[in-house]
Structure 1
Amino acid sequence: MTSRGRKFIWTIVLILAMSALAACGTNNKAADGNAVQAENAGEQAAAASATPAASSNNTSEEGATRTITGEFGDVEIPVHPKRVAGIYVEDYLKALGVTPVVQWYHPSWGKQDYLNLDVPEFDISGSMEALLDKNPDLIITDGGADAAKYEQYSMIAPTYRLPESVLQDSRLMLTAIADALGIPEKGEAVLAEYDQKVADGKAKLQQALGQEKVAVIRLNVADKTFALFGVKNRFTGVLYDQFGLTPVPMAAEMTEYQSIISEEVIPALEADHIIVFPDNGDWDTAANQEAIGILDGPLWKNLPAVKNGNIYRMERSHWQSGAITANTMKLDDLLKVMVK
């Protein structure tokens, strides 16, 4: 059978499967830039869930498979996957030295530019045939894939959907992904390097800031509002629970991941340091200029943090990711602007 014929048959299968899912009323919701955030499970339980239960199903080296357990049950995967698609988790693949066959993007959200991947893009809002064409032998995805989307990915290749219990901790996610790829030793080495970097950075930040309070705020360009990120936020909670910074009281008391606040609330935060980034685009993007002008207004100019030079405009791409590479880049940013 020709490659073209194979792709045509797969396309028909996918169309029929998607139609069946739609008829059952399944909500095929894609994850946005804020990601799906899971409740934080206990360290031991999460660690247990992070390590896939494996069994060898094929004794030959070439084509050998094993079974691991993901969020939606057992899946048989290659022992040595060669062509991996990491939907929403390319950051971890890069950290582990694995180049994915595609990088996900969405027409409205863009992609994770900070990874600088030179691979084809896969529009997660479009046709699955674009992913089929890249012939992955393993697909790994996080909480951005619900049960319906998982079934669609599984028609392309064996799909490992990470357990909910690991999604709140980038270290557990890295361990689970390394195990699924059959390179647990590499995962351990990456984590050891990361932990050492965090320990060194934390000591420097605490010496420089002490108990000075920090606020992380996203500028929502379209409606000119602000989102205060709480201590449980998957993207920036790492600043507090790993890097040792002190959150402003409002962020410390938040049970939700973020809270929309007006500009007038900013002074009430009593922040000694303010980290801010736009929800989309770059600081110099033409569409953002009017909203960014808010930061030059009289209210902001009178904030103690601004007067003291302690407002930091960060690049949104890695600050709106909670993955291991992004967290390392955040730490580098903080050391650069906060440690004199």
Structure 2
Amino acid sequence: MKMNVNFRRLFPTIIIGLLVLIIAACGNNDSSPETENEEGTGNKEVTLDSAMGEVTIPANAEKILAPYHEDALVALGVTPVAKWAIGQSVQNYLEEDLKDVPPIEWNVPVEQALSHEPDLIILQNNMDSYEGSFEDYNKIAPTYLMTEETVKDWRKQIETFGTILGKEEEAKKLLSDYEAKVEEARSQLEEALGDETAAVIWAAGNQFYLFEQDRHSAEVLYSELGVKQPALVQELGAADAASWNPISVEKLSELDADHVFLLALEGEQGIQTLEDSAVWQSTPAAKNGNVHIINDPSNWTNKGLIASQKTIEDVLNAVGK
């Protein structure tokens, strides 16, 4: 991706701000989807709960638009008509499957949505991050607004999308296979790490973001894989979805993690900053050569089935034995 120097410096901040906006754009409807279709297949209409009440999903919907939630579609074997993007930036970890899919801007401009001629649109429950209104999108195609619970829980997304697409059995198998993957990985990491701790830091430009215990992929690392948290991460507590502030290199001197997963694009300025910092080089992970650089942060800064699977693979490749 080509960009001038000034924009490149600003770009990580733009990305972070938009990610925070997307995560924070959640309402208060906790309804769970309930199908009223006898067979629950894509061959018939399916009526289920949404953030706008009951919605009838058309039979055999094929041209589906679900910006920022393509992870669930791809996992279920469905290629969307367009993929979420910020300019030329996309969710890189999905590009193996979506490289030929055209982008749609992150705020889903109504004219762009119309141009892709979807026959089903799936959006988040809160409309604040979108250019159009629910009525605007619903005029283009039947529009399903996920409940807050579904937005926050990727497992619920798999289940809900499975119901919408008539792929309930596929959804169940995906979740079952994932749990088996987690158990196997957890066992390997118990042997490889024991009581050693690990932290996740995102270097965006020359700023550093320490992941709280439940921020994006950190939830996979700590809650699912059972990796121990260093004291500084424990002190942070739960993530605030509405904000995420950078941490100074001086504060990172307090990070007593045995391992650090450093998320940074190749050539990112922050990598050199840490290498040149005596403060950073004095931390346990740096002194022992246990700073594991991950050059594709995209799956680590998202939540989804595929994102979680790739995060597990990154962890095992870095520290698994």
| Unaligned 5+ runs, structure 2 | 1-16
Aligned length: 289
- Write the distance in 2 (CA, Å) between the matches of 1:322 and 1:248: 22
Cα distance in 2 for partners of 1:177, 1:324 equals 12
Distance change (3 Å), C-alpha of 1:94 and 1:263: same
Matched, 1:115 2:94: yes
Question: 1:155 aligned to 2:139?
Answer: yes
**Partner SS for 1:171:** helix
Identify the range of structure 1 (145-154 vs 325-334) with the bigger mean alpha-carbon deviation. Answer: 145-154
Q: Which amino acid aligns with 2:142?
A: P
Structure 1 partner of 2:266? 283
Unaligned runs of 5+ in 1: 1-30
- Among residues 213, 218, 222, which one is paired with 1:240 in the alignment? 222
Tell me, yes or no, if the aligned pair for 1:213 and 1:246 is still in contact at 8 Å.
yes
- Residue 99, structure 1, aligned to residue 79, structure 2: yes
The reply to whether residue 263 of structure 1 matches residue 246 of structure 2 is no
Once the two structures are superposed, the pairs formed by residues 285-304 of structure 1 within 5 Å of their partners are 288-289=268-269, 291-297=270-276, 298-304=278-284
Deviation at 1:220, TM superposition (A): 3.1
Q: What's the counterpart of residue 36 of structure 1?
A: 23
The structure-2 alpha-carbon separation of the partners of 1:181 and 1:137, relative to structure 1 and needing over 3 Å to count, comes to: same
- The Cα of 1:276 is off from its aligned counterpart by 1.7
Please report how far the alpha carbon of residue 37 of structure 1 lies from its aligned counterpart in structure 2 after TM superposition: 4.9
8 Å contact from structure 1 (residues 239, 245) kept in 2: yes
Tell me, what secondary structure is at the counterpart of 1:32?
A: helix
Partner Cα separation in structure 2 for residue 38 and residue 215 of structure 1: 27
Q: 1:71 to 1:303 in 2, by over 3 A?
A: same
Runs of 4+ in structure 1 displaced over 4 angstroms? Answer: none
Corresponding residue of 1:323: 304
Structure 2 residue 291 is matched with structure 1 residue 311: yes
Q: Distance in 2 between matches of 1:101 and 1:163?
A: 22
Give the letter for the 1:106 counterpart.
I
2:258 alignment counterpart: 272
Structure 1 residue 296: Cα displacement: 0.9
Alpha-carbon distance, 1:300 to partner: 2.2
Instruction: State whether residues 198 and 258 of structure 2, in contact with CA within 8 Å, keep that contact through their aligned partners in structure 1.
Output: yes
Residue matched to 2:64: 84
Which of 168, 176, 196 aligns to 2:160? It is 176
Percent identity, aligned pairs only, is: 31
> Bigger radius of gyration, 1 or 2?
1
Mean Cα displacement is larger for which, 264-273 or 293-302? Answer: 293-302
After TM superposition, the score normalised by the length of structure 2 is 0.81
Match of 1:250 in 2: 232
Kindly provide the CA deviation profile for residues 37-76 of structure 1, in whole angstroms up to 9, marking residues without a partner as x: 589x9xxx97xx44334358xxxx97x5332211222222
Matched, 1:70 2:50: yes
Q: CA 1:239 to 1:152, structure 2 compared with 1: closer, same or farther past 3 Å?
A: farther
Q: Partners in 2 of 1:50 and 1:310 — Cα distance?
A: 42
What is the CA–CA distance in structure 2 between the aligned matches of 1:74 and 1:167, rounded to whole Å? 17
